[in-house]
Chain A
Amino acid sequence: MTVEQPAEPDKKSIDEWLLEHTNSTPEGLEQAKKEAEKDARRHSREEIEEEKSDEES
């Protein structure tokens, strides 16, 4: 899919932006960040294992 007009980068952090515009709390955002890191690590690990398994077979 081609994207016609990407938005201009913002100077605020994603946390500042979400705190300004939504009802999220700093604690909740920190927790969501950790959850994402955990799942990203797990998916990366699974893909490496899958590639190894494909190479071996």
Chain B
Amino acid sequence: MSREETHSVVLDPQTRIDARIGVADGGEVEWFVVQLLHNLEPYYSEYEDWREIARFDHNPDAQEGHDVAKEGLHMDLTFENREDEAVTRFPSHTPPPSDLGLTVRYCVNYLRNRYEELIKEYNDDRRAAR
């Protein structure tokens, strides 16, 4: 049985990346979820409304879970106004089954590099749906 560990990376006051992993005794990552989260409330508000914008995940043992070793890596754009849309081409990185910590690192850095564009796309999408 794996133990669960969580880590958050704050990108700006309204945006963060949450990484959750299930780790076996030997340090092998058995499953992971890496999410880009954005707070729709203004930073000065006493309320918070965190939404998931994009997600990478790997959980072959779960019902309908993905297996990045077999399927390759993909990112789901989890916008409310669209069916889940996936970005599938990540040619520089092949997930190594014995060291998926590297894939988690890849996902965090990918989101860190693209979060402003993804949030703009998410906000444009919400405006268009109104």
Give the B-binding residues of A (Cβ under 8 A). Answer: 1-3, 6-10, 12, 14-15, 17-18, 21-24, 28-29, 31-33, 35-44, 47
Q: Which of A9, A12, A23, A32 contacts B109 (CB 8 A)?
A: A32
Instruction: Using known A-B contacts A28-B102, A44-B114, determine if residue A3 contacts B50 with beta carbons closer than 8 Å.
Output: yes
Interface of B is mostly: mixed
User: Chain A interface mostly helix, strand, loop or mixed?
Assistant: helix
Given contacts A3-B52, A22-B29, is CB(A39)–CB(B91) below 8 Å?
Answer: yes
Give the A-binding residues of B (Cβ under 8 A). Answer: 5-10, 16, 18-19, 21, 23, 26-29, 35, 37, 48-52, 78, 80, 87, 90-93, 98-110, 113-114, 117
Q: Quote the shortest CB–CB distance from A41 to chain B (angstroms).
A: 7
A-B contact pairs, 17 of them (CB 8 A): A6-B8, A6-B18, A7-B6, A9-B10, A10-B7, A14-B7, A14-B9, A17-B5, A17-B7, A17-B19, A18-B101, A18-B105, A21-B27, A24-B102, A29-B102, A29-B105, A40-B110
